[in-house]
Amino acid sequence: MGRLFGTDGVRGVANADLTAELALGLSVAAAHVLAEAGTFEGHRPVAVVGRDPRASGEFLEAAVVAGLASAGVDVRRVGVLPTPAVAYLTGALGADLGVMLSASHNAMPDNGIKFFARGGHKLADELEDRIEETYHAHAAGEPWDRPTGAGVGRVTTYDQGFDNYVAHLIGVLPNRLDGLKVVIDGAHGAAARVSPEAFARAGAEVITIGTEPDGLNINDGCGSTHLAKLRAAVVEHGADLGVAHDGDADRCLAVDAIGAEVDGDQILAVLALAMRDAGGLRKDTVVATVMSNLGFKLAMEREGLSLVQTAVGDRYVLEEMKRSGFALGGEQSGHVIVLDHATTGDGTLTGLMLAARVAATGRSLADLAGVMERLPQILINVPDVDKSRVTTSPEVRIAVTDAERELGATGRVLLRPSGTEPLVRVMVEAADIEQARSVAGRLADVVKSALG
């Protein structure tokens, strides 16, 4: 039986992989595991439950709420809100557990369950493992110890979550956005109301697209994975910039006034300098993954800032930030974590801070993003190879050494085995696109012949 929990909760096709029975069972298991861990000791437990607008979120939310209440947990239903809003409210309301139902940037048929611990932080891996073990044990027939009478959980709707979260976002902004015209693409997702409201309250003139969710259109040709509509709208309306979120709004990508994409690396670069200038970039260090463009690393070096790189995945970025006390980190995908103001990636906060830097400096987003030059990056997937030997093969090691020597200081080679498929990803960056393409092609050939 495969593991239920992935790097970002439990995810799958709703009503096929992710059923009401699974959602209910996992919620009961989570309540029991946290109770055994002492999280609920001395008080009546409380959970915050939110979701994105997917149609399947309606029945999955009902299952999660039923599971938690049946296990003696009082539930505060906050409705459709971004993942970072549920994390924030879990902390702000002093709840013992947060649950978000979303499949982020995935297509509409998918959905997912993500648990937050007290304070709005990601649930520890060992607790996820115990929840999964407990769920399987009881699915096999082991009976639950169930409360009765006054011991069952009570369910209420918490209507103030929207305003509380927006007020939090406005409260942490370094300056207002008066005079800026911003286009927001809400991906017909969880930020469809939140992001436009926050930008408007901060003083921006707001134009919206992708802000009419109907439960079926989330991420459909819009949002951070489909920027064409945002580009066109920014140019059409003569806006200063545009921001795009994904379905649960933990990510943000942007476009400048002429519709050119500003990716997560560039956003990180702009925010790093803003936080440094404000004295908020602890240890003058930014955390990113090994997939960040070499141009980002060179820009940080040029600005006298340090870069710590982790394995691919926002969870690894966050772990390093918390372990070493860093304030800013993120990924190329636009998953940016500002740890002083959020416990997870927050797309609305990221967009607001980016716009705030434009407003404060009077410089265009294109000018600010120009602090780094994105070097050409070629990625080739080499399928049907023994990915376990990618670090031990002498032929591959020699080919990588030769490639690195050829590229010098302005190029980079990264060979990464896929986490889910029998393939190796060959990534090459160079100042010249043709050189990058040539080196990547040669390396891919070596990987295929040596590991095939």
Confirm whether residue 145 is marked as ligand binding: no
**Contact assessment for residue 400 and residue 444, using Cβ atoms and an 8 Å cutoff:** no
Catalytic residue among 104, 195, 333, 393: 104
Strand partners, 14: 18
Edge to edge, the sheet with strand 328-330 lists 306-310, 285-289, 328-330, 336-338
Interatomic CA distance for residues 222 and 205, integer angstroms: 21
Confirm whether residue 248 is marked as ligand binding: yes
Residues sharing a CB contact under 8 Å with residue 214, sequence separation 6 or more, in sequence order: 53, 188
For 213, counting Cβ atoms within 10 Å of its Cβ (0-12 exposed, 13-18 middle, 19+ buried), the class is buried
Confirm whether residue 250 is marked as ligand binding: yes
Amino acid at 32: H
For 313, counting Cβ atoms within 10 Å of its Cβ (0-12 exposed, 13-18 middle, 19+ buried), the class is middle
Question: Within 10 Å of residue 420's Cβ, how many Cβ atoms?
Answer: 6
Pairing between β-strand 110-117 and β-strand 97-101 as defined by DSSP bridges: antiparallel
Residues sharing a CB contact under 8 Å with residue 430, sequence separation 6 or more, in sequence order: 375, 376, 407, 410, 411, 412, 436, 439
* C-alpha dist (Å) from residue 414 to 55, 73, 279, 390: 40, 47, 33, 11
Interatomic CA distance for residues 305 and 301, integer angstroms: 6
Whether 104 is catalytic is: yes
* C-alpha dist (Å) from residue 255 to 11, 90, 205, 269: 30, 32, 16, 15
**Contact assessment for residue 223 and residue 210, using Cβ atoms and an 8 Å cutoff:** yes
Interatomic CA distance for residues 381 and 385, integer angstroms: 10
Query: Which tokens hold the place of 251?
Result: 């990510």
Confirm whether residue 340 is marked as ligand binding: no
**Helix %, strand %, coil % for the chain, to 5?**
40, 20, 35
Whose tokens are 């309301």? That residue is 93
Backbone phi and psi for residue 24, each to the nearest 5 degrees, phi listed first? -65, -45
Interatomic CA distance for residues 70 and 73, integer angstroms: 7
Q: Give 247-274 as a DSSP string.
A: TTS--EEEE-TT--EE-HHHHHHHHHHH
Bind-site residues for Mg(2+): 104, 246, 248, 250
Active site residues: 104
Bind-site residues: 104, 246, 248, 250
